[in-house]
């Protein structure tokens, strides 16, 4: 799909779903890595990750466009356009727009998180932690017994 076709699609979605014109530019940006698209506050342009269309097809692409158009129209109108704003969340629901896009990269650049399990030597209470603790420095919060590393496992 070309940038021109993307622009036409964005204009059509804006008119059909929001009932408003899209007056700025929309184009693909291959440098986007983890996000499906982004709305540019200063220029009001919309950039879309081409991987969305390549991996998931037209339906997912339209979802990302609707999400970015929510940012666009709310910002233009001077309403709350950020993810945390009530205006934004209401417009997402009203237009049936996704809050997040599907995963675009698998494993690339992402660390596998480790999970450490510690056990108290006195009362046998278990502690699950994401970081490796210094067992000489930390003790059980219940009985102040010594902590012992029981297991460490990689999670994806």
β-strand pairing of 37-39 with 147-155 = unpaired
pLDDT digits (tens, 9 = 90+) for 112-153: 677 899 999 999 999 999 888 999 999 999 999 999 999 888
Flag whether the pTM goes above 0.85: no
* Dist CA 91 CA 115 (whole Å): 38
68 is catalytic: yes
DSSP 60-99: HHHHHHHHHHHHHHHHHTTS--STT-HHHHHHHHHHT--S
CATH number of 3-95: 3.30.2010.10
* Dist CA 68 CA 97 (whole Å): 9
Ordered by start, the domain boundaries in the chain are: 3-95, 113-155
pLDDT digits (tens, 9 = 90+) for 22-60: 999 999 999 988 888 999 999 999 999 998 888 888 998
Task: Name the catalytic one among 68, 90, 106, 153.
Answer: 68
With beta carbons less than 8 A apart as the criterion, state whether 133 and 146 touch.
Answer: no
């Amino acid at each position: 799909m070309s940038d021109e076709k993307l622009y036409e699609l964005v204009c059509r979605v804006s008119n059909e779903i929001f009932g408003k014109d899209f007056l700025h530019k929309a184009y693909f940006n291959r440098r986007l890595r983890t996000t499906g698209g982004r709305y540019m506050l200063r220029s009001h342009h919309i950039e879309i990750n081409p991987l969305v269309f390549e991996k998931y097809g037209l339906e997912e692409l339209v979802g990302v466009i609707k999400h970015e158009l929510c940012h666009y129209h709310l910002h233009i109108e001077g309403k709350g356009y950020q993810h945390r704003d009530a205006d934004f969340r209401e417009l997402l629901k009203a237009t049936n727009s996704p809050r997040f896009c599907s995963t675009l990269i698998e494993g690339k650049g992402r660390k596998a998180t480790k999970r450490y399990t510690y056990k108290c030597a006195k009362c046998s209470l278990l502690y699950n932690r994401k970081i490796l603790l210094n067992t000489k420095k930390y003790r059980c919060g219940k009985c102040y017994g010594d902590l012992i590393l029981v297991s460490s496992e990689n999670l994806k």
